[in-house]
Homo-oligomer: A and B are copies of this chain.
Amino acid sequence: MLTKARILSLLFSCMLFSTSALAAQVYHLRLAESWPPNFPIFGESTKTFKQQVEALSGGRLRITIHAKNKHKAPFGIFDMVRSGQYDMGHSASYYWKGKDPNTLYFTTMPFGMTAPEQYAWFYHGGGMQLMEKVYDKYGLLSFLGGNTGNQMGGWFQKEINSVADLQGLKMRIPGFAGEVLAKLGAKPTNIPAGELYTALERRTIDALEWVGPSLDLRMGFHKIAPYYYTGWHEPATELQFLINRKKFASLPDDLQAILRVAMQSAAHDMYARSYHESAMNWAKIRQEYPQVQIRTFPKPVMDALRAANEQLLAERAAQDPLAKEIIASQQAYLQKVRAWTRISDQAYLNALSE
């Protein structure tokens, strides 16, 4: 029989239960980004991501973003997410080539794919699967993190008219593209962002590459270097979201889906934003600094750079079966997708500029 006490106890249980059902569990993820606080474009993509996640989950998933002034380790993201010190990171895959040389291939490659070509490769040409293969052994998941668009070849104090002009050229150009240039006798150096302007102005360096008008305008290089070269070395720089795999797997299915789509959305938004900012800033430079001259490396220089690039890739492929697989996938895909670009966007653009 139901005594008054028994019914009272049932009522308490019920109240406890309904309270917990209502106050759905809230999850928190901590994200470390490689950028300074409020860094334009790159930093906006983590903010977009955070807003999306919180709106999509109705507040059940919260993101805390730490910029580099907090964690002091812009190039430590890989390790911090791997160890679980942070749950997520926003950075770039090619920063980790010292830890694993095969992380190099998932940002952009000299003479490689443009952004639309590369998105097709990532999503439909096997790129995401290859990236997963590389990151899997570290307990990490890597997702696309936003594209800068085609990066400019850089600001030069003097014209490059022949391969000989590259001899001894002191240029700030980090990473794999620096290795390619070094093969032709240039002296690639890395200099902290804050010192670049002075270094170029005082001719400590002859040239530098940064990003493109989207981020170059605020650096002021157009005031001190006359030649702005078109790009070859980073045709489609894609940033990266890193996630600790164990942490990701511990989330409910719907929050995993929310993370995936919010990263994808932030990435695509960054590409559109980069394109927009580049267009607006390039218009501004053209109007206010008409003395800036656009140059493209002459064919013999491009050919030499390309040959050096291919030689370096062949060396990497010979050393590591997974490198070989990734390079082969990219090269085979590029051949097909570029043939399409030639008769579509490129033919269209060329027909209108004749």
Given A10-B11, A351-B232, A345 contacting B58 (CB threshold 8 A): no
**B351 close to A297 (CB less than 8 A):** yes
Question: How far apart sit A282 and B345, CA to CA, in the bound complex (Å)?
Answer: 14
Select A7's contact among B7, B124, B346, beta carbons within 8 Å. Answer: B7
Query: Is A346 a contact of B344 with CB atoms below 8 Å?
Result: no
Complex Cα distance, B169 from A217, in Å, reads 49
Query: What residues of B have a CB within 8 angstroms of the CB of A15 in the complex?
Result: 14
Q: Determine whether A224 belongs to the interface, using a CB cutoff of 8 Å to chain B.
A: no
A254-B348 contact in complex given A7-B11, A272-B124, C-beta closer than 8 Å: no
Q: Which of A21, A269, A275, A296 gathers most chain B CB within 10 Å?
A: A275
What's the dominant secondary structure at chain A's contact region? helix
Q: How far is the CA of A257 from the CA of B253 in the complex (A)?
A: 18
For the complex, is A250 an interface residue (Cβ under 8 Å from B)? Answer: no
Check A344–B150 contact: CB distance below 8 A. yes
Docked Cα-Cα span, A137 to B17, in Å, equals 47
A56 interfacial contact with B, CB 8 Å:
yes
Do A57 and B152 touch across chains, with their CB atoms under 8 A apart?
no
Are B345 and A345 closer than 8 Å at their CB atoms? yes
Most buried by B among A52, A116, A273: A116
How many of these chains are in the complex? 2
CB contacts under 8 Å to B, within A1-50, are 2, 4, 7-8, 10-11, 14-15, 17-18, 21-22
Determine if A329 is an interface residue (Cβ-Cβ < 8 Å). no
Q: Which residues of B contact A277 (CB under 8 A)?
A: 124
Q: Is the beta-carbon distance between B7 and A340 smaller than 8 angstroms?
A: no
Contact of A282 among B14, B252, B254, B343 (CB under 8 A): B343
**Complex interface residues of chain A between 248 and 289 (CB less than 8 A to chain B):** 252-254, 257-258, 261-262, 264-265, 268-269, 271-273, 275-280, 282-283, 286
Query: Which residues 229-256 in A have Cβ within 8 Å of B in the complex?
Result: 230-232, 235, 252-254
By Cβ-Cβ distance, the 10 closest A-B pairs, closest first, are A18-B18, A124-B276, A58-B254, A150-B344, A230-B347, A55-B257, A120-B275, A279-B337, A14-B14, A120-B276
What is the interface of chain A, defined by CB distance below 8 A to chain B?
2, 4, 7-8, 10-11, 14-15, 17-18, 21-22, 52, 55-58, 111, 114-117, 119-125, 149-150, 152, 212-213, 228, 230-232, 235, 252-254, 257-258, 261-262, 264-265, 268-269, 271-273, 275-280, 282-283, 286, 294, 296-297, 299, 302, 333, 336-337, 339-354
